[in-house]
Chain A
């Protein structure tokens, strides 16, 4: 009989735990925000660079303290994050690939697009620098050298903002990847962190956003080899998913978040995020051309 009692106890424990988990989906409602009465959270589709660098951990508690709204962030590549918005699975999209963002808006999936902040890309490579590009600030010349010497280069290959920036830079360098790529060019189809881990493992070169690089811990022999080129500029934009297309989109709460990010408080919070004394993102919501 003890066996039966033990079984019932286990069952009871499991039921208690599962009800606790499922209850999380229906937590008590926070104070109403705008017309989405009872909204206590919004979902934001953003990129691995903003999440992995720790920016959201820094700014979201401030927004929550002010409004009571929890922001649930899903970290994906820019292409995937925009698709999440297209399907209506997020309220706000916060990404970094201007051309794709403008296409998203033009197709009527959301908008308007607003510039939020920028940081820059850096070329990461082994300290031994087999391509001989270290210390240069000419990204195009560096890519040409990597291709000529066929040194391992790790590409995100995942349609992310960083991947799109990388492809545009190869184009600037006049290199037709489809025609010239060999085994030196390694597309991994994964996030920024995974790409850095891969580059670290094979001592290859990789294009990374500075924020993820600064917060990345498994550096091994890697270091920044090229930085400071104007072409390495990396702009982030934010937009609301179109509530006319997806009726469940939390328009008021989502807009509240966007307004906060673009306003004085949000911009200040972004600018104050530092790792080892280095600022990661530069707020530029006021720049109409960004």
Chain B
């Protein structure tokens, strides 16, 4: 296949600003950012809590969370699908084949990454600053906000890792979203669809746009954290 055809398809997509294509980009970003936001709101405190707490079976919990970083998206998708199906336990909500279902599936995939990396980072930081924190009265769980704030640049990388997993993922959103045109079609499910229609240049063109978007988001985050580090000293 002609690679230049893929590049010209990508350029056409970007220059053409076709409303259908923009809708797909907006939905992809919206779903992924929502999922990462939800996973971060739950995962950051949870990871820190796990770092500072001591209870029987803690080692087992850590191993489990670390292992869930490798949860296959298609399995996560299937479980969410069975839960949300009209014949499933929470089917009455009618969420299957909707953007909300896709956010839920991706949040499940991103959460273990954020919890696991936050746990490790916070544990290291706490080991280093325990006495210093205690001397200003921050003992036990009261140290969590300070630890998270001090580790924010490293934690941004954890969140980016989560973003990368969610934005690249196709298995889960395909199952729970249904790839409905104009409603639950994302960049990755559109790529899968165009591949199956044999329009490989368009599929690869969409892929190039997705990679470009990911680059921009990472560049912005990097720039922001550099600027932040300089001003925060």
Contact = CB atoms under 8 A, between A and B. Distances in A.
Q: How large is the interface on A (under 10, 10 to 19, 20 to 34, 35 or more residues)?
A: 35 or more
Contact of B228 (A3, A57, A219): A3
Contact of A22 (B34, B36, B91, B96): B34
A88 B198 contact: no
Contacts of A190: 196
B120 interface: no
B86 A89 contact: yes
A193 B87 contact: no
A165 to B, nearest CB: 19
A230 to B, nearest CB: 28
A48 interface: yes
A20 B183 CA distance: 13
A1 interface: yes
Interface residues of B, number: 44
A194 interface: yes
A57 B36 CA distance: 33
Interface string A67-90: 000101111000000000001110
Contacts of B138: none
Nearest to A76: B178
Contact of B198 (A7, A25, A43, A193): A193
Contact of B100 (A22, A193, A216, A218): A22
Contacts of A244: none
A192 interface: yes
Interface in B190-233: 193, 195-200, 221, 224-225, 227-229, 231-232
B158 interface: no
Given A1-B232, A88-B86, A74 B97 contact: yes
Interface in B19-38: 26-27, 29-31, 33-34, 36-37
B152 interface: yes
Nearest to B1: A218
B181 interface: yes
A17 B92 CA distance: 26
B167 interface: no
A25 B227 contact: no
A25 B99 contact: yes
A193 to B, nearest CB: 3
Contacts of A191: 196
Interface of B is mostly: helix
Interface of A is mostly: helix
Contact of A248 (B30, B33, B86, B97): B86
A274 interface: no
B227 A18 contact: no
B99 A22 contact: yes
A136 interface: no
Given A3-B227, A18-B33, A18-B34, A193 B195 contact: yes
Interface stretch (A8-16, A92-100, A144-152, A167-175): A8-16
Contact of B33 (A3, A17, A219): A17
A1 B227 CA distance: 10
Contacts of B29: 17
Contacts of A88: 85-87, 91
A87 B87 contact: yes
Nearest to A48: B196
A21 interface: yes
Contacts of B72: none
Given A192-B196, A218-B200, A219-B198, 11 more contacts: A1-B232, A3-B227, A15-B37, A20-B30, A21-B31, A73-B180, A73-B181, A89-B87, A216-B198, A218-B1, A248-B86
20 contacts: A3-B224, A3-B232, A6-B228, A18-B103, A21-B99, A22-B99, A22-B100, A24-B98, A25-B99, A52-B193, A52-B196, A70-B183, A73-B181, A74-B97, A88-B85, A88-B87, A89-B87, A196-B198, A200-B198, A217-B200
List 10 A-B pairs, minimum CB-CB distance, nearest first. A3-B228, A193-B196, A18-B34, A218-B198, A21-B30, A88-B86, A74-B178, A217-B198, A6-B224, A2-B231
Interface of B: 1, 26-27, 29-31, 33-34, 36-37, 85-87, 91-92, 94-100, 103, 152, 178-181, 183, 193, 195-200, 221, 224-225, 227-229, 231-232
